[in-house]
């Protein structure tokens, strides 16, 4: 079968490799759609995984099954990490810290014609019913957004801002009625405005907000996000900053203004189920947030263009 491997330095190789077998108690899935995650563009994060099969935003058709809950021929979403649902972390809803969550993964990855699903992953595998595969492949990233809004304590209609209008910023805004989004990329600003969203360049901004989501993993973005806060505001850091690089924060100002800074990493089963419902209700639609539906052979170029900010998001659809 054919798949996409990240080889380092922004290079993607399309290779032929053996098709995985159906694991005992698990599934073998034929991939229909796999999105390119913005996190897969981050060099410091990806270079430590080389050579890594891309893709974890996936939907596909079950080819083989050893679990009667998941019949052959049915379309599924599979989260690339899934919790045990029994440990201390799972019991308090901190699914991403479960040891099972951390060790589980797709075999070999979602950007492949087929992938195997171990039985441990079935705790966060969903039957997609009539949901289209391109929408099913958005469940995982949208679930990350849903988790971040929960951790932020976002309240509908409150004054809110989103820093960074890549695909994740756009999905935040689609779930935050009346929010204002900020970006410096003209393509992203135009895309957001075409969706009817309030998208602005950060220069000269003087508005203040109760909730702020900072999507880019950079000190500059975090600093701008903090500058947008009212007293007693909440700020969510949605992406990590590079390791080993201390960030300068005015803790005196944060303290006396009672600013609450939270982080939000990935998502768990509760979030994926909410994302599934949101996609079924068309609160977010694939064509709103995916600019390029492509074939696997087009991925190496699309990867570079998305990394350079020349396209919003690529999603591979498989024949």
Both 130 and 191 in one domain: the answer is no
Both 17 and 76 in one domain: the answer is yes
Both 18 and 127 in one domain: the answer is yes
| 60 is a domain residue | yes
Both 124 and 192 in one domain: the answer is no
**Domain harbouring 219, CATH code:** 3.40.50.720
CB 97 within 8 A of CB 278: no
Alpha-carbon distance values, 268 to 23, 79, 101 (Å): 23, 9, 9
CB 34 within 8 A of CB 57: yes
Of 222, 247, 263, the last residue of a domain is 263
Both 236 and 218 in one domain: the answer is yes
Both 220 and 117 in one domain: the answer is no
Q: Is 286 helix (H, G, I), strand (E, B) or coil?
A: helix
CB 31 within 8 A of CB 112: yes
Both 155 and 215 in one domain: the answer is yes
So what's the pLDDT on residue 10? Answer: 87
| 162 is a domain residue | yes
Sign of torsion over alpha carbons 299, 303, 306, 312:
positive
Both 7 and 123 in one domain: the answer is yes
So what's the pLDDT on residue 204? Answer: 82
Please count the structural domains in the chain. 2
Both 10 and 123 in one domain: the answer is yes
Alpha-carbon distance values, 191 to 195, 197, 300, 302, 304 (Å): 7, 9, 23, 18, 19
| 276 is a domain residue | no
| 272 is a domain residue | no
- How many CA atoms, within 13 angstroms, populate the side-chain half-sphere of residue 275? 33
Of 245, 263, 281, the last residue of a domain is 263
Domain hosting residue 183, numbered range: 144-263
Both 109 and 176 in one domain: the answer is no
| 102 is a domain residue | yes
So what's the pLDDT on residue 138? Answer: 99
Alpha carbon distance, N-terminus to C-terminus of the chain? 13
pLDDT average per 10 residues of sequence, the chain (319 residues): 95 97 98 97 92 97 98 98 98 98 98 98 97 98 98 96 98 98 98 98 93 97 97 98 92 97 98 98 98 98 97 98
Both 31 and 126 in one domain: the answer is yes
The pTM of the full predicted model, rounded to 2 decimals, is 0.97
Q: Cβ neighbours of residue 257 under 8 Å, at least 6 residues apart?
A: 229, 231, 232, 233
| 180 is a domain residue | yes
The token duo for 76 is: 């599924």
**Domain harbouring 42, CATH code:** 3.90.180.10
| 273 is a domain residue | no
| 282 is a domain residue | no
So what's the pLDDT on residue 139? Answer: 99
Both 249 and 150 in one domain: the answer is yes
């Amino acid at each position: 079968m054919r798949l996409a491997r990240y080889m380092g330095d922004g290079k993607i190789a399309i290779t032929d490799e053996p098709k995985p077998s159906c694991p005992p108690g698990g599934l073998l899935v034929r991939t229909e759609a796999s999105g390119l995650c913005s996190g897969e563009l981050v060099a410091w994060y990806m270079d430590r995984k080389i050579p890594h099969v891309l893709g974890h935003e996936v939907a596909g058709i079950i080819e083989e099954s050893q679990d009667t809950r998941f019949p052959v021929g049915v379309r599924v979403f599979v989260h690339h990490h899934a919790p045990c649902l029994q440990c201390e972390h799972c019991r308090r809803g901190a699914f991403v810290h479960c040891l099972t969550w951390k060790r589980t993964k797709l075999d070999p990855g979602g950007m492949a014609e087929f992938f195997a699903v171990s039985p441990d992953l079935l705790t966060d595998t969903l039957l997609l019913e009539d949901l289209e595969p391109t929408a099913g492949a958005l469940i995982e990233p949208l679930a990350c957004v849903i988790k971040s809004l929960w951790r932020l304590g976002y309240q509908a209609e409150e004054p809110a801002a989103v820093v960074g209008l890549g695909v994740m910023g756009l999905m935040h805004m689609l779930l935050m009625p009346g929010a204002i989004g900020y970006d410096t990329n003209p393509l992203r600003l135009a895309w957001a405005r075409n969706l009817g969203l309030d998208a602005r360049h950060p220069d000269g901004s003087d508005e203040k907000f109760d909730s702020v989501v900072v999507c880019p993993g950079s000190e500059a973005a975090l600093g701008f996000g903090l500058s947008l806060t009212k007293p007693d505001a909440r700020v969510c850091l949605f992406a990590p900053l590079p390791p080993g690089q201390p960030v300068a924060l005015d803790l005196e100002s944060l303290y006396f203004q009672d600013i609450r800074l939270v982080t939000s990493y990935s998502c768990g089963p509760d979030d994926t189920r909410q994302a599934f419902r949101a996609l079924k209700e068309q609160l977010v639609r694939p064509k709103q947030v995916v600019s390029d539906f492509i074939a696997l052979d087009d991925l190496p170029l699309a990867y570079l263009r998305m990394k350079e900010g020349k396209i919003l998001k690529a999603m591979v659809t498989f024949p």
